[in-house]
């Protein structure tokens, strides 16, 4: 499993990336999808995910709607108009970062023994 310190800076682009793929999601759904798609390597805790969601909401990047589901209220998050642009650029930035990181970590064929 990947450590919290490494995941921390990636939560924002991960959330935005997921919301680009799926129109609206709730907190627990995000944690489950991230866990499934990373084969359990990235495990978003409640304390890591929600502050990011709330901050994105406060910055008007995310919009929310509340629905009554199974005896309780469920808060759904979705991208705002402004958020869609931000999500696209952040996802692009994430790909670049991952490429750069991969290039940095891959054993170079040109490197001297």
Site residues (vs another protein, CB under 8 A): 26-29, 32, 45-47, 50-51, 54-55, 57-58, 63-66, 68-75
CB of 17 to another protein, least distance (A): 21
Q: Which is nearer to another protein, 72 or 106 (CB)?
A: 72
Q: Which is nearer to another protein, 45 or 89 (CB)?
A: 45
Rounded CA separation 66/22 (Å): 17
Q: Which is nearer to another protein, 71 or 110 (CB)?
A: 71
């Amino acid at each position: 499993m990947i450590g919290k310190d490494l995941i921390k800076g990636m939560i924002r682009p991960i959330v935005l990336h997921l919301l680009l793929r799926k129109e609206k999601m709730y907190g627990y759904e995000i944690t489950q999808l991230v866990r499934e798609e990373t084969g359990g390597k990235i495990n978003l805790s409640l304390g890591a995910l929600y502050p990011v969601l709330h901050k994105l909401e406060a910055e008007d990047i995310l919009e929310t709607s509340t629905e009554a589901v199974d005896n309780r209220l469920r808060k759904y998050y979705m991208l705002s108009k402004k958020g869609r642009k931000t999500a696209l650029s952040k996802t692009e930035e994430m790909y670049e970062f991952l490429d750069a990181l991969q290039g940095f970590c891959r054993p170079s064929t040109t490197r001297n023994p």
